[in-house]
Amino acid sequence: MISIHQAISAIKTTCKPLMKEAVLKVEKSSGFILSQDIHSPINMPPFRQSAMDGYALNVHEKLEYYLQGEMKAGDNHKLYLKEGEAVRIFTGAPVPDSANAVVMQEKVKVSGNKIVIESNIPSEHNIRPLGEQVKKGEIALKQGTKLTPAAIGYLTSLGITDVLVYKQPSIAIVTTGNELIKAGKPLPFGKIYESNSVMLQSALGNLDFYDVTLHTIDDNFENTTSKLQSVINLNDLVIITGGISVGDYDFVGKSLEELKTEVIFYKVKQKPGKPLFFGKKDDTIIFALPGNPAATLSCFYCYVYIALQKMMNRNALELPKIFAKSQSNFKKSGDRPQFLKAIYKDNEVQILEGQNSSMLQTFALSNALVFLPETVSNISVNDMVEVILLPS
């Protein structure tokens, strides 16, 4: 049995950035990371653009101007203004080359084809210069940029339809157990509703990982071995839940051994999640998470999360940790370091009742895990404790 620290180091050393690229439609690229710089194919804005509804002027010393027609957004006719002439213009319309300022209509008195402005206005006032945001050929977004809604909007405004991104890992979630029934069906005696797969899929979606397939296996050695072989062949990351302990019907360890999986570690001194398995076969990373649902999720955040960040070549590999004042007393039984379901708010943290690894009810209320090291056996109110903040 290894320590939490050793387990985390082993994951960090074993997992490598995937660095595989994929071309995606911009509108499907949310959350992905650009694998190359993107150069702008156009100037943005593509022409000198009016920022206001008003009048474009060929400026002279006087405050009076004579009107020469109209330019609205989308118009593309050419207009030539002599000094002292103005054109009615609207926001987003091209400003004629011969105009050198736009005055907003609130600052103008109109009588017939003559306008009078309140005071002289500076050159290029209210005109968005050609290429103000980005010039044709310049880097629009750099490699490594995460594609947020704003980034997707920006690229689309440049006319870009496809982007090269780092491919996300293809992930298989495999649940094991004869007792598992899909929610929505009647529940016979002795069975339980299968929840780990949807829980992990949702945790992955929260972190923007969507290339996920779900698989189920009954407690049978041959079925376990053949299913694991096929998901390992087809995926970058395999997350198995259950069947990794020492019971007669826990076949995951035996099947992984049969498949000659490299065992990097098995069993971590921690609660929950002691029988955690981490291994590798060819380039596929394999986690077998203990099946108790709260142990599954706790191990996902403390270990699988790190593998995912490393595969995506991100800098921050672990979830954020802070110290906060405990609002609760807690007594640890045994000597394993413990991850405790908790609610963090305003520098204080409440450790919840119901820490059993089978209990998701308390996890559903939690936004944090309090980490209790091996050397600490009691927490008292007002003690400072280490808190791992969970993704919201």
Ligand X SMILES: Nc1nc2c(c(=O)[nH]1)N[C@H]1C(S)=C(S)[C@@H](COP(=O)(O)OP(=O)(O)OC[C@H]3O[C@@H](n4cnc5c(N)ncnc54)[C@H](O)[C@@H]3O)O[C@H]1N2
The residues of the shown chain that bind ligand MOO, judged by CB under 6 A, are: 271-274, 290, 292, 295, 357
**Identified binder of ligand X from the candidate list 75, 179, 318, 374, rule CB under 6 A:** 179
- Cα(130)–Cα(40) distance, rounded to whole angstroms? 13
Q: Per CB under 6 A, which of residues 333..362 are in contact with ligand X? A: 357
Q: Which of 366, 351, 387 is nearest to 203 (CA)?
A: 366
Upper half-sphere CA count for residue 2 (Cβ side, 13 Å): 15
User: Minimum CB separation from ligand MOO for residue 353, in Å?
Assistant: 17
Evaluate the CA torsion angle 4, 255, 199, 204 in order and state its sign. positive
Q: How far is the CB of 337 from ligand X (least distance, A)?
A: 14
* Cα end-to-end span (Å), the chain: 32
3-class SS shares of the chain: helix, strand, coil, % to 5? 20, 35, 45
Window of 33-41, 238-246, 328-336, 366-374 that interacts with ligand X by CB under 6 A = 238-246
**Contact call for residue 253 and ligand X (CB under 6 A):** no
Does residue number 36 form part of the binding site for ligand X (CB under 6 A)?
no
Q: Which is nearer to ligand MOO, 290 or 337 (CB)?
A: 290
Instruction: Give yes or no for residue 195 binding ligand X (CB under 6 A).
Output: yes
Query: CA-to-CA distance for 234 and 284, rounded, in angstroms?
Result: 9
Could you say which of 91, 105, 120, 245 contacts ligand X (CB under 6 A)?
245
Q: How far is the CB of 354 from ligand X (least distance, A)?
A: 16
Contact predicate 58/32, CB 8 Å: no
Of the pair 274, 325, the CB lying nearest ligand MOO is at 274
Size of the site for ligand X (CB under 6 A): 26
CA–CA separation, 181 and 201 (whole Å): 17
Q: Does 168 bind ligand X (CB under 6 A)?
A: no
For ligand X, the closer of residues 133 and 195 by Cβ is 195
Q: Which does 85 bind (CB under 5 to 8 A by kind): ligand X, ligand MOO, none?
A: none
Residue 16 CB burial class (10 angstroms; 0-12, 13-18, ≥19): exposed
Residues 246, 322: Cα–Cα separation, whole Å: 36
What is the Cα–Cα distance from 61 to 81, expressed in whole angstroms? 15
- Give the residue with the Cβ less far from ligand X, 178 or 378: 178
Among 35, 40, 196, 366, binds ligand X (CB under 6 A): 196
* CB neighbour list of residue 27: distance below 8 Å, 6 or more residues apart: 152, 156
Closest CB 363 distance from ligand MOO, rounded Å: 12
Question: Interface with ligand X includes 241 (CB under 6 A)?
Answer: yes
**How would you class 15 by CB atoms within 10 Å of its CB: exposed for 0-12, middle for 13-18, buried for 19 or more?**
buried
Shortest reach from residue 290's CB to ligand MOO, in Å: 5
Please report whether residue 54 would count as binding ligand X according to CB under 6 A: no
Q: How far apart are CA 89 and CA 75, in angstroms?
A: 10
246 binds ligand X (CB under 6 A): yes
Site for ligand X in 260-299 (CB under 6 A): 272, 274-275, 290-293, 295
Asked if residue 250 binds ligand X (CB under 6 A), the reply is yes
Please, which residue, 181 or 317, has the CB nearer to ligand X? Answer: 181
Residue ranges binding ligand X (CB under 6 A): 175-177, 179-180, 192, 194-196, 241-247, 250, 272, 274-275, 290-293, 295, 357
